[in-house]
Amino acid sequence: MLANSGFGTRSEVRALIAGGAVSVNGITAKKADLQVSAEDEVICNGNPVSSDEHLYFLLDKPDEVLTAMEDPRLACVGEFIPDNLRGRKLSPVGRLDYHTTGLLVITNDGTLSHRLQSPKYKIKKIYLVNYDGPEWTEAEIKEVADGVTLTDMDTPVKLSPSAVSPIADGKAYITLTEGKTHEVRRIFAKFNKEVTALRRISLGNITIKEDTADCGVLRELTKDEVLGLKALTGL
């Protein structure tokens, strides 16, 4: 349980137990093969140990941060994960560009992660976009709503329908149900609009602030938020 919860390798946690660092229901554990259940209160060096193998976090990703757990050169989202959870095989659900801010779920629940990214479940992702260029016309909005074809790369790609809602000059929401590479930037570019700031504000049942005041804040998803994501993906 300790090794699975990121408190160290099997031999490291054996040493912790031998050193008296671990208690179970208030009694110092003596043996590493002591059997514990989800109801037992396990404490290691003063930190509660959760038997729940799945962790679910929400990071409000700042600008200039790579969506990766590690990188030799650039700041990356893995740096926002507390050290004692490094061994928990957490990884981001999908990817936000280096310059995109906002809602990023980080979990070690591979099934949920896979389903949230699969176009099959049509999970809605809402982005707030600032752009330079002509305003959206009704005809352009309709083209995107019908599923636009991008021809900016070697092979043309037909996108699923997306909803553009202009808010003000140079500002719009766009709702996607899939996650093709640089999809928002490419849709805007197709209509001669250059994205100058991109922020994901919603994923399925979860919505965050439109302003960037909480960029860099990591929090655990609430039970209801997790249940909501699972319900949307048939889990």
User: Judged by CB under 6 A, which of 198, 208, 221, 229 binds ligand URA?
Assistant: 198
**Residue from 40, 97, 146, 169 carrying the catalytic annotation:** 97
Q: How far is the CB of 189 from ligand URA (least distance, A)?
A: 9
Q: What is the largest CA-CA distance in the chain?
A: 72
Figure out which of the listed residues 115, 185, 193, 199 binds ligand URA, where binding follows CB under 6 A: 185
Instruction: Select from 109, 140, 183, 225 the one that contacts ligand URA (CB under 6 A).
Output: 183
Q: Which residues contact 155 (CB under 8 A, 6 or more apart)?
A: none
Q: Restricting to residues 83-112, which ones interact with ligand URA according to CB under 6 A? A: 96-97, 100
Nearer to ligand URA, 29 or 159 (CB): 159
Residue with smaller CB distance to ligand URA, 14 or 95: 95
How far apart CA 87 and CA 232 sit, in angstroms, is 28
Phi then psi for 140, rounded to 5 degrees?
Answer: -65, -45
- Cα(132)–Cα(165) distance, integer angstroms: 16
Q: How far is the CB of 162 from ligand URA (least distance, A)?
A: 10
Q: Which residues contact 157 (CB under 8 A, 6 or more apart)?
A: 149, 150, 180
CA 215/CA 175 separation, integer angstroms: 21
Q: How many residues bind ligand URA (CB under 6 A)?
A: 8
CB 198 within 8 A of CB 63: no
Beta carbon of residue 46, minimum distance to ligand URA (angstroms, whole number): 39
Q: Which of the stretches 8-16, 57-65, 109-117, 179-187 binds ligand URA when contact is defined by CB under 6 A?
A: 179-187
Strand partners, 19: none
Site string for ligand URA, 131-170 (x = CB under 6 A): ----------------------------------------
Region binding ligand URA by CB under 6 A among candidate stretches 58-66, 108-116, 181-189, 221-229: 181-189
- The pair of structure tokens assigned to 83 is 């050290």
Burial 148-163 (b: 16+ CB within 10 A, else e): bebeeeeeeeebeebe
User: To the nearest whole angstrom, how small is the minimum distance from the Cβ of residue 177 to ligand URA?
Assistant: 12
97 catalytic residue (yes or no): yes
- State the number of CA atoms in the 13 A half-sphere of 163 facing the CB: 7
* Contact residues: ligand URA, CB under 6 A: 96-97, 100, 182-185, 198
Query: Which residues are tagged catalytic?
Result: 97
